[in-house]
């Protein structure tokens, strides 16, 4: 089913960077990243494309770098989407199974999912994802291990998790990618993509909360029993921490970003108060000395705010007691020192850092095994998952066609015909009786002679009169029939 020549491209349009990843099949169903390109993000604010022209230029640079490294042209991409405009909701759908279906078929499930597109949305919203969560057949809920296809029933229900986004923001992404000379293969919510990179099936089954702390947004996705249960996007992330450092230490933004990534910590008590770093002053100003414990205090205050919002969303989902696999932190913000410990302290849930090497080939470049690339790599893995699902569905359809019973060619009681007179008594399509049929009489009528000469069928009236002749011939015998000239004769 898998083709080693399959190529999938993921494009992460982030607030701080735009990264492109090109992947292909490797051994043991793993994926190898053969091309990688990154460029500073322009025209994007908090995960939303604001300036289409600037974003298109950044996209083009990142894609060209990845394409050159991989040695393959890029025409279509899977794109990640985030931003505060993302909304999610739960919806219940129901359909009646057609009487001709002995059990639920794939087309029934597809129809139920498709009907969710009729869900009433707020003005200016559009669908991004529709995730079925649990199925109910004739009032009985199926366990997560049982697929509805193949179950006998007359009514199918399902609870759906629907993810929507602002229509204009979706169009901006589409226009910026198109302006860069590319086509969009699919739009994927960023925490869903990241989950493909840092989680496995065991995590999803046990229950896990993925927290992707990016530059402009913090994305949350909660899984339980293998199904996505809750998604949300928070408008606070790494850039807010950088801004606090810039304002608190009265330094340039680039200097604040460097301090955060190289020396930042979330726990001031773990930093010596004697550690001092010197920052070059502006123009004739003297260098500015910054205490590392003070820096850690600034970082902790903002990070606590973000993690408290994460804790609130987990409790809002009512799944906090079912997250047995804990919290998985990823994204650029997950690189902050001691963020794991601070997350466990605030939420009371076991936490680990998620690296995007869960499903990658061992020969991949170590540079990309970084939490900040979880979304881009996840987009590639999501693309391969979609490709496999389409092929599996296509194969199942082919198998169903092959399994259909072949028509028995033995004599049948009735043979369908396009002839409007096929069902009239006396037609030769009727079942033969046990009596030996009379020898066929020579065709001497003008109508049949005309047919033989011209190769055309008798007209409508001729066929009708001939059928009536045969009918009355059988009912009354051969003593009273119409002759070929349609004149009656007496007994």
Let me know if residue 211 belongs to a domain: yes
In this structure, are 111 and 228 located in the same domain? no
Of the residues 335, 357, 379, the one at which a domain ends: 357
Let me know if residue 486 belongs to a domain: no
- Provide the domain count of the chain: 2
Q: What is the DSSP letter of 488?
A: B
pLDDT per residue, tens digit, the chain (491 aa), is 455 568 999 999 999 999 999 999 887 788 999 999 999 999 999 889 999 999 999 999 999 999 999 999 999 999 999 988 999 999 999 999 999 999 999 899 999 999 999 998 989 999 999 999 899 999 999 988 888 999 999 999 999 999 999 999 999 999 999 999 999 999 999 999 999 999 999 999 999 999 999 999 999 999 999 999 999 999 999 999 999 999 999 899 999 999 999 999 999 999 888 889 988 887 778 888 999 999 999 999 999 999 999 999 999 999 999 999 999 999 999 999 999 999 999 999 999 999 999 889 888 888 899 999 999 999 999 999 998 888 877 776 666 655 554 444 444 444 333 333 334 344 444 444 444 445 444 444 444 444 444 444 455 445 545 554 554 454 444 444 444 444 444 43
In this structure, are 144 and 224 located in the same domain? no
In this structure, are 149 and 290 located in the same domain? no
In this structure, are 129 and 204 located in the same domain? no
In this structure, are 248 and 348 located in the same domain? yes
Let me know if residue 299 belongs to a domain: yes
Let me know if residue 350 belongs to a domain: yes
Q: Tell me the two tokens of residue 330.
A: 């990823």
In this structure, are 160 and 209 located in the same domain? no
Let me know if residue 400 belongs to a domain: no
Let me know if residue 142 belongs to a domain: yes
In this structure, are 142 and 205 located in the same domain? no
Of the residues 357, 389, 421, the one at which a domain ends: 357
In this structure, are 160 and 250 located in the same domain? no
E-strand stretches of 240-348: 276-279, 288-291, 327-330
In this structure, are 275 and 138 located in the same domain? no
Identify the CATH number of the domain in which residue 280 sits.
Answer: 3.30.420.40
C-alpha to C-alpha distance for 307 and 229, rounded to whole angstroms: 20
In this structure, are 145 and 266 located in the same domain? no
CB 138 within 8 A of CB 154: yes
In this structure, are 96 and 237 located in the same domain? no
Let me know if residue 218 belongs to a domain: yes
In this structure, are 284 and 340 located in the same domain? yes
Identify the CATH number of the domain in which residue 104 sits.
Answer: 3.30.1490.110
Quote the crossing angle between the two packed helices 167-179 and 52-70, to the nearest 10°: 50
Let me know if residue 57 belongs to a domain: no
Of the residues 357, 373, 401, the one at which a domain ends: 357
> Domain residues for 130?
87-166
C-alpha to C-alpha distance for 325 and 334, rounded to whole angstroms: 18
Q: What are phi and psi of 46, to 5 degrees?
A: 50, 45
Q: Tell me the two tokens of residue 225.
A: 């029993």
């Amino acid at each position: 089913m898998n083709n080693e020549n399959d190529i999938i491209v993921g494009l992460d349009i982030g607030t701080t960077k735009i990264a492109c990843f090109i992947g292909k099949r490797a051994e043991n169903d793993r994926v190898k990243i053969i091309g990688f390109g990154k460029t500073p993000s322009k025209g994007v604010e908090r995960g939303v494309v604001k300036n289409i022209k600037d974003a298109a230029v950044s996209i083009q640079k990142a894609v060209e770098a990845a394409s050159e490294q991989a040695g393959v042209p890029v025409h279509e991409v899977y794109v990640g989407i985030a931003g505060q405009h993302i909304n999610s909701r739960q919806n219940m759908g129901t359909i009646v199974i057609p009487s001709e279906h002995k059990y639920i078929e794939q087309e029934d499930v597809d129809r139920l999912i498709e009907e969710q597109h009729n869900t009433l949305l707020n003005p200016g919203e559009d669908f991004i994802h529709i995730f079925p969560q649990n199925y109910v057949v004739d009032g009985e809920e199926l366990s997560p291990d049982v697929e509805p296809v193949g179950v006998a029933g007359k009514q199918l229900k399902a609870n759906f998790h629907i993810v929507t986004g602002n229509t204009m923001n979706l169009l901006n992404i589409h226009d910026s990618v198109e302006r860069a000379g590319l086509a969009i293969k699919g739009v994927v919510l960023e925490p869903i993509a990241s989950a493909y990179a840092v989680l496995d099936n065991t995590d999803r089954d046990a229950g896990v909360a993925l927290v992707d702390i990016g530059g402009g947004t913090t994305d949350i996705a909660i899984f339980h029993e293998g199904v996505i249960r809750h998604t949300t996007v928070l408008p606070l992330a790494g850039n807010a921490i950088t801004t606090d450092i810039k304002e608190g230490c009265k330094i340039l933004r680039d200097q604040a970003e460097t301090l955060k990534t190289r020396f930042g910590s979330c726990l001031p008590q773990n930093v010596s108060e004697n550690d001092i770093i010197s920052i070059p002053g502006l123009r004739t100003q003297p260098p500015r000395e910054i205490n590392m414990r003070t820096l850690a205090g600034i970082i902790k205050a903002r990070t606590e705010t973000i993690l408290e919002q994460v804790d609130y969303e987990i409790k809002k989902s009512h799944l906090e007691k079912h997250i047995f696999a804990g919290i998985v932190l990823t994204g650029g913000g997950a690189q902050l020192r001691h963020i794991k410990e601070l997350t466990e302290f605030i939420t009371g849930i076991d936490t680990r850092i998620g690296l995007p090497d869960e499903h990658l080939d061992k020969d991949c470049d170590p540079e990309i095994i970084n939490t900040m690339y979880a979304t881009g790599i996840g987009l590639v893995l999501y693309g391969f998952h979609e490709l496999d699902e389409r092929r599996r569905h296509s194969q199942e359809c082919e198998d169903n066609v092959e399994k259909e019973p072949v028509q028995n060619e033995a004599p049948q009681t009735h043979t369908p015909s396009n002839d409007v007179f096929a069902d009239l008594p006396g037609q030769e399509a009727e079942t033969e009786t046990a009596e030996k049929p009379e020898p066929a009489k020579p065709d001497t009528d003008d109508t049949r002679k005309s047919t033989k000469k011209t190769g055309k069928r008798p007209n409508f009236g001729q066929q009708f009169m001939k059928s009536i002749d045969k009918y009355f011939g059988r009912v009354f015998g051969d003593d009273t029939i119409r002759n070929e000239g349609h004149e009656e004769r007496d007994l």
